Structure 1
Amino acid sequence: MNKTISWLAILLAAQLALAAGLYWGSQGDNFEALGESLLTTDTSLADKLVFSSPDASVTLAKKSDAWSIPEYHDLPVNNEGLDTLLSKLGELQAGWPVANSSAAQARFEVAEDKFEKRMQLFRGDELLADIYVGTSPAYRRAHIRLAGSTDIFSVELNAHDVYVKNEEWLDKALLVVSDLNSVKGADYTLQKQDDAWSLVPEPVEDALPLNTDQVEKLADTLSGLRIQTASDSVDGEATMVSIGKATGDALDYALFQQGDDYWVKRSDQAVFFSITKSDFETLTQANLAWLTEEAPEVVAPAMPPAGMIPGGVQGGMPGGLPQGMSMEDLPPEVLEALRRQQQQR
């Protein structure tokens, strides 16, 4: 009897544990199913944002519906990334806190004096929201705490999307051109008409034709040029390239190299931008010869004379073959000569 009661007690405990697990699990990491918005303000009202970490800070400002970086030459912001972040903040669900003690604030790194990231949203001088972002409990989730509250929440937020450096928010596509129709270098001018590029003026009769691969590489580099960082000044001798567009004025590009850094200054911008070495080399090496040179001819490796395997090894020993070559790669007449040598031994 006692044994039966013990088994029933164990079974009941297991059922209760299972039911509790299903209940708590259905609520999500932070009871987000409750559906309460974490922020009480509309993030679209913000016109100034301050994102910071213990060792870096960036301020973004909104003017005439456009975001810029005032302390970084007032350059434009990557709007796609910022819009995604603000939308995500507006969708955060509060639910139940995972903790609310001072010790937990330090442990989850959402304390005033110990945090990973901090986001402050302003409208004018009014502080709309002040959010501390801390440790990550799971992939693309973060612990956060609102300033003035002790409650700590686990929410769907990637802390890596909260950039705290000027160059991280910079619009890397600032120099992208969508309607490129001419390119001028030191000794060439290219014109695009009906989706086809040609030299202007027309080349002489015996001139080499355009290498379309090289031309498209140059055009694609100019059209899709992406920047990395910005600087007030860069010294050195410049290589010049100019472009024309279907609409708007022509643009001049001055290209500089400083050690392992590569820079471009465009005529419609007040500052210099760093670019990749690959893009720099494409823009600076382009000249008439480069744009018209024929693709190099692929030369087959020289075949060995009859009776001798490359490398000076006699008698068909495969050790004398060049790397990557097998006996099957030899011409039939060489194979026949080797066969005869073997028969004579």
Structure 2
Amino acid sequence: MKQLIIIGTLLLLVQTGLMVATHTLRNTDTGRPAGGPFLHLKAADVTEMVLEDRDGRRLLLKKEHETWLLPEKDSFPADSGRVQEFLEQIAGLQRGWPEAATAEAVNRFKVATDQFEWKLTLRQGEKVLGIVYFGSSAGLRKRYIRADGDNEIQTFTAGRYELETAADNWIDTGILQLKPEQVVRVDLPGLHLERGPDGLQPADLSKEEEIIRDRRDQVVRQLTGLRVAGLLGTVEKPEYGLGRPVLSYSVELDDKTTINYVVGREEDLSQSADEDGAAPADDESFVLKVSNQAQLFHIDAWQIHEIKNITRASLVRAKEHKQPTTDGSAHQVEQ
């Protein structure tokens, strides 16, 4: 009898151990078996990406000469680095233990062909390389995911931002950025900067003045580091306020190219003015027109305010001179 109890206890321990091990393997990435790639494709082979959401919104991205573009936005450049990183993440996804593999689960996790949160179609020319359905949340920054024609449901690490169908979330926001060393002249309201031996400085800098270098360098970063927030199309509308600009300036480059910048304040938001007639800063919406770009841009208000606040007085100071003292030593005085 005692021997039977011992055998029974051992069997129970073995069974419990197997259950724990199985549970652990199913819930840890390290314990998952190598099930092969989720999709059988290479990121480099993808030349077109279509992302659709459950509400019917659609984003099209197309690769031309290693650059990703937005064809439905006048082929405006997308953030190619971000697109490529996303594709490599999809192409490199490996199968683990499936979360489920039944027709009922496909609908429950919202990864069905007619019920999904997002649908991703990857093509090479006219050839479809793969279709992926993204479903409901599977935890922090994780989504249930299923490949077309496959009942296995896996998980994919991706936040909502990575799956946005709005074009503004995929554009190359740094399209207007310049190299500081390219700039040879800047014409701002009441201030003209020209490149000298030590970099940009006011054109009328006198011998008794000197440039404040850290402040000048900051100004150069502001002028050459513009980032756009969104696209407004190529048609200039009256409500964009470009006919009554709040700021106009130009930048000349070392190849003799001159780029003109015109900034308007959108009228629909500027109607919510305070008692002095100025729109509250938090409600300001600015539109930027750039002479070498077909698109009009939304641009964050803080960037416009920084440029508007650039003044000559903030960039220069009087030189310090040494004058002799009564004991024959010298000290500096500011003129």
If the length of structure 1 is used for normalisation, what is the TM-score?
0.75
Q: How does 1:293-304 map to 2 (within 5 A)?
A: none
Distance 2:66 2:210 in 1: 49
Offset at residue 84 of structure 1 (A): 0.8
8 Å Cα contact 1:29-1:154 kept in structure 2: no
Distance 2:258 2:146 in 1: 51
Are positions 1:102 and 2:126 aligned together? no
- 2:219 corresponds to which residue? 218
- 2:49 corresponds to which residue? 49
**Alignment-mate amino acid for residue 257 of structure 1:** R
Q: How does 1:56-71 map to 2 (within 5 A)?
A: 56-71=57-72
**Alignment-mate amino acid for residue 40 of structure 1:** H
- 1:257 corresponds to which residue? 265
- 1:9 corresponds to which residue? 8
8 Å Cα contact 1:32-1:93 kept in structure 2: no
- 2:241 corresponds to which residue? 235
**Alignment-mate amino acid for residue 205 of structure 2:** E
Q: Decide which of 286, 294, 299 is 1:270's aligned counterpart.
A: 294
Distance 1:271 1:156 in 2: 34
SS at match of 1:136: strand
SS at match of 2:82: helix
Offset at residue 246 of structure 1 (A): 3.9
Distance 2:96 2:306 in 1: 54
Q: Which runs of 5+ in 2 are unaligned?
A: 271-283, 319-335
Distance 2:73 2:256 in 1: 26
Cα 1:139–1:194 shift into 2, 3 Å:
farther
Distance 1:251 1:185 in 2: 12
- 1:244 corresponds to which residue? 252
| C-alpha RMSD of the superposition | 2.7
Larger radius of gyration: 1
Q: Name whichever structure is richer in strand by fraction.
A: 2
What whole-Å deviation, never above 9, does each CA across 1:119-147 have from its counterpart, x for those lacking one? 11112222111100112323443211112
If the length of structure 2 is used for normalisation, what is the TM-score?
0.77
Distance 1:9 1:293 in 2: 91
SS at match of 2:150: coil
Moved more, 81-90 or 236-245: 236-245
- 1:154 corresponds to which residue? 155
Are positions 1:189 and 2:192 aligned together? yes
- 1:307 corresponds to which residue? none
Cα 1:35–1:101 shift into 2, 3 Å:
closer
Offset at residue 270 of structure 1 (A): 0.8
- 1:198 corresponds to which residue? 201
What whole-Å deviation, never above 9, does each CA across 1:20-63 have from its counterpart, x for those lacking one? 43355346557753140111222322221111211222100112
Offset at residue 72 of structure 1 (A): 1.7
SS at match of 2:33: helix
8 Å Cα contact 2:33-2:97 kept in structure 1: no
Cα 1:203–1:272 shift into 2, 3 Å:
farther
SS at match of 2:164: coil
Offset at residue 269 of structure 1 (A): 0.4
- 1:327 corresponds to which residue? none
- 1:118 corresponds to which residue? 119
Cα 1:52–1:200 shift into 2, 3 Å:
same
Identity %: 21
SS at match of 1:71: helix
Offset at residue 204 of structure 1 (A): 7.1
Cα 1:8–1:213 shift into 2, 3 Å:
same
Are positions 1:280 and 2:326 aligned together? no
SS at match of 1:283: helix
Offset at residue 11 of structure 1 (A): 4.9
Matched residue count = 291
Distance 1:141 1:270 in 2: 38
Q: How does 1:17-32 map to 2 (within 5 A)?
A: 17-26=16-25, 32=32
SS at match of 1:33: coil
Distance 1:57 1:184 in 2: 42
**Alignment-mate amino acid for residue 74 of structure 2:** H
Cα 1:273–1:105 shift into 2, 3 Å:
same
8 Å Cα contact 1:49-1:60 kept in structure 2: yes
8 Å Cα contact 2:137-2:143 kept in structure 1: yes
